[in-house]
Amino acid sequence: MGLIIYLDGQYVEEENAKVSVFDHGLLYGDGVFEGIRAYHGFVFKLKEHIDRLYQGAHTIGLRINETPEEMAQVVVETCRRNNLTDAYIRLVVTRGKGDLGLDPNKCPKSTTFCIAATIKLYPEELYQKGMGVVTVATRRNIAEACNPRVKSLNYLNNIYAKMEANLAGAGEGIMLNNEGYVAEATGDNVFYVKNGVLITPPIYAGLLEGVTRNCVMELARKRGIEVKETLFTRMDLYTADECFLTGTAAEVIPVVKYDGRVIGKGEPGEITKMLIEDYRNYIKNAGDGERI
């Protein structure tokens, strides 16, 4: 039996979850989405994900049919109907069915669907030993073009970068902004540690404000670790004491090599390991979770 999918007010079997070939989400990548995790019967940081979805939709002038409260229930109910207590949830809102032109005004109603399944982005071994990453040539979209703060369906910028990382045999690709500062990875936010200070790029550097990113910063501050949001270059990562990435799917994963340069001692650092443990304890205890 396949998955049960939420689609525009109904819960349907996977094979019946169909959208029009005229949907502008398919034709033009016009829409927004969220990747959300459920752990131990709780949907993690659901409010933050829902808020970001609606902020992105508002930014691109996309009207969502469901209210935020209804959307939160959609996520929870989709997990329930699939008997999932641990899940990766993909919540998507497209511009909806229109014609073959670009004009969003030709799309009278948006399309919403929600999928609850499972995901494992990296093997557990990499969380223990760390992974290598590389700088990719593809620059992060500039805010004046396709603002990275909107988690839109148009992900070609990230896909180009992921292809480059794959070709280099790296676990992830680090994207620079148009000014040459580190922005983010293809699907994760970037952190490094120098002299006991935790540093990550500011939002205006051209990155998605990650829910996991913000959670890890909060956990670090509770530990008494100084956290800075500031611009930095590749050299700062080359000479860092520690480095790690954060994301909904990746959680907190150590980086031990960047562009062939060993970071620190070439193994996950003490602050990194501490934050991995803190994050895992936080989700284990259903921090800010919505019960399924």
Return all residues near 98 (Cβ < 8 A) that are at least 6 apart: 22, 23, 24, 27, 104, 106, 107
Phi, psi of 267 (to 5 degrees): -145, 160
Residue pair 186/158 in contact by the 8 Å Cβ criterion: yes
Q: From the candidates 45, 97, 151, 162, which is the catalytic residue?
A: 151
- For residue 45, indicate whether it is catalytic: no
Query: Alpha-carbon distance 151 to 34, whole Å?
Result: 7
Catalytic residues: 151
